[in-house]
């Protein structure tokens, strides 16, 4: 998914919580001034070499580690054919979200990107 590579270098501009986790990105490769938004609606993994956390958008007590992504830059992004999305960040964190059976697990949209959606399997 070469279109996603445009996001490399983008900064996490804001993090928002509701019954989902939203990461808003600003910039990226040849994307100055352009935005992208990742909405995650299912539990996902956030880890470094020494820490691992499961973040559940429906459980407030698990959300705090997600704030470590604020104002850091995306260093890589990968989407498998099974719609497993993996993002790596300059501060060493790696976020991975997998699709689920019943509903949309995540979506990624942006000013100059096609919409990516991990729908139920």
Give me the residue spans of the domains in the chain: 2-118
User: Residue 113's pLDDT is what?
Assistant: 82
pLDDT band with cut points at 50, 70 and 90 for residue 33: confident
pLDDT digits (tens, 9 = 90+) for 57-87: 999 999 999 999 999 999 999 999 999 999 9
Instruction: Give the chain's mean pLDDT.
Output: 92
Q: In what order do the strands lie in the sheet with 35-40?
A: 11-17, 21-26, 35-40, 106-110, 113-118
Q: How far apart, in Å, are the Cα atoms of 74 and each of 27, 77, 93, 95?
A: 10, 8, 10, 10
In the predicted structure, residue 30 carries a pLDDT above the cut 80: no
């Amino acid at each position: 998914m070469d279109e996603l590579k445009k996001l490399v270098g983008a900064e996490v501009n804001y993090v928002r919580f509701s019954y989902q986790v939203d990461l808003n990105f600003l910039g990226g490769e040849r994307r100055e001034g352009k935005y992208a938004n990742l909405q995650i609606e299912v539990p996902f993994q956030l880890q470094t070499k020494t820490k691992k956390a499961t973040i559940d958008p429906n459980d407030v007590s698990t959300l705090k580690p997600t704030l470590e992504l604020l104002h850091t830059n995306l260093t890589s992004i990968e989407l498998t054919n099974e719609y497993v999305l993996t993002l790596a960040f300059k501060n060493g964190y790696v976020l991975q979200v997998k699709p689920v059976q019943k509903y949309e697990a995540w979506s990624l949209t942006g000013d100059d990107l096609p919409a990516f959606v991990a729908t139920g399997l």
